[in-house]
Structure 1
Amino acid sequence: METWRAIDRFAEAIRAAGLGEPDIIGDGRIHRYYADGRRGQGPEWYKLHLNGLPAGAFGSWRLGMTESWCAKSRDEMNVIERADFSAMLAKARAERDAEQARQHQESANRAAAIWNQATPAPDAHPYLLKKGVRAHGTRVDRFGNLIIPASDGQRLTTLQFIAPDGGKKFLSGGRISGSWFAIGVEAAGAILIAEGFATAATLHQETGKPCVVAFNANNLLPVARAVRRLNPRADLIVCGDEDQWTPGNPGRTKARAAALDVGAKVLMPDFSGFDLSSKPTDWNDWYRLRPEIKASKEATR
């Protein structure tokens, strides 16, 4: 196959996977990029060999995704080509893992430096006031962003930044999967696991029980497994988001899957009778809307 055609087909496979349109360099090395077109070494990556049978691999550390590509299907390959392709994939996986570990370590070092320079967050932070929760050991940076540390139980892995207006982002390159933030670890009782910081903070303040922030629905399962491993006899309750406005309701689906995997219970907010104009989804929404429900009931008596 001609080189330009192999590059085009490889690029098309990356586009079809929803990982953007990087400028392909077929030198057999891992290249990092951003799927949204930003410059720099992002969480997406690819590796393309053009010597011999054109073949490569690509993926996203952000999405935990890896795929392979070859100019021929396995049925079309001869014995030598199959062996070479398998060896290329094994080498690509090893290089991918090594690069990801290096990236995670660099991000963890940056996270520690930022965290050490940050100051304790006040309960009067605009985001906390809006959500009706306290700071619970979080910090703020010099730009006024709330900082939520994420840990794997042994070390700081990454940081989540929440702007005063509620905008959220993670430190680039950090490891999120299997990382969490705990609130009220000194409390007794069942351990609650929720997606967002405000949700977990609300549940802790209302129940008095220890709560764990998983940060997103996809991380509920890795975090639930980690919490179960550290607390084999504890009662775990996964407090999911009711993503009724999102196709497939990922909050409910992921919460149930995580609970089933670790033998936990599931607790979902019920918005029946609530004003749904704000499209509520989580337990923070539920608790903040609850006074309005009571006031509405009293007004109709």
Structure 2
Amino acid sequence: MMKKEELIKKWLDNDLSAEEQKTFEQLEDYNELIQMDKALKDFKAPDFSIDNTYKTLKPKLKSNTLKPKQWLKPLLKIAAIFAIGLSVYYFTTTLNTEVGTSIAQRTTIELPDASTVDLNANSTLTFNESHWNKNREVQLNGEAFFKVAKGQKFDVITTDGVVSVLGTQFNVKQRGSYFKVTCYEGLVGVTYNNKTVNLKPGYTFQIIDGKLLANEKENTAQPNWLRGESSFKSIPLKYVISEFENHYNFKINASTIDTSRLFTGSFTHKNLDLALQSITIPLNLSYSKTGKSIVLKRE
């Protein structure tokens, strides 16, 4: 007849034959073992404690029918199963999904609720898919256009402020000290320095170098960058240059000119020289190219 510890090992491995199963069910510890198996199946990581589980189980086992050493391997196996389950739980529930774009690259992301995000060049979006049903929240570094499915609150977290909506279309740009939110549909709440401003369609909240700027109402249905063009209204040249570098693999040297000058206009993402001319001509500047470097000069 098979020994008790061998039966238990085979039970742990789900390897019992029909006859062995009947023998296993006659064991004195059968009920305790079944309870332990149920605990494994009902396992929830936050409430689990290996030490407490073992302390509860130990007094119930018949020490006179199975020596401690004979229980060692099965218990170690059970502990290993719990440990693996615990690790998998925390890994899968804390792991974030991060999507990034490089220079001159754009991408579209579909979130778990069918909301979509168009991510502009040199930007990063981070979210947790496992917690999405309870917490619709993303972290943004760069620029993105959002189409949010209706549902509970949706938050876009940036280093400058938090943008909160229920279901709408809006654009968020956060690059350095340049923070801009534009509402295209629905209602958008922007929290900055513990104060919340609600934006209706066409209106913009814009902070540059810590200063709140007044903006004219926009009449476009989507941001211009989705059509391959960056547009600016009275924006310091240094931010125009920075945005140019997000779309072209060139570095601009503007050390001899005043980059605090305000620029109004746009540049294309598809033609380097045309983009440079669109920036320099209105400001009476010239440029020269050497390799991957561009120098801006006063005419």
Normalised to the residue count of structure 1, the TM-score between the two structures is 0.24
| Structure with the larger strand share | 2
| Structure with the larger helix share | 1
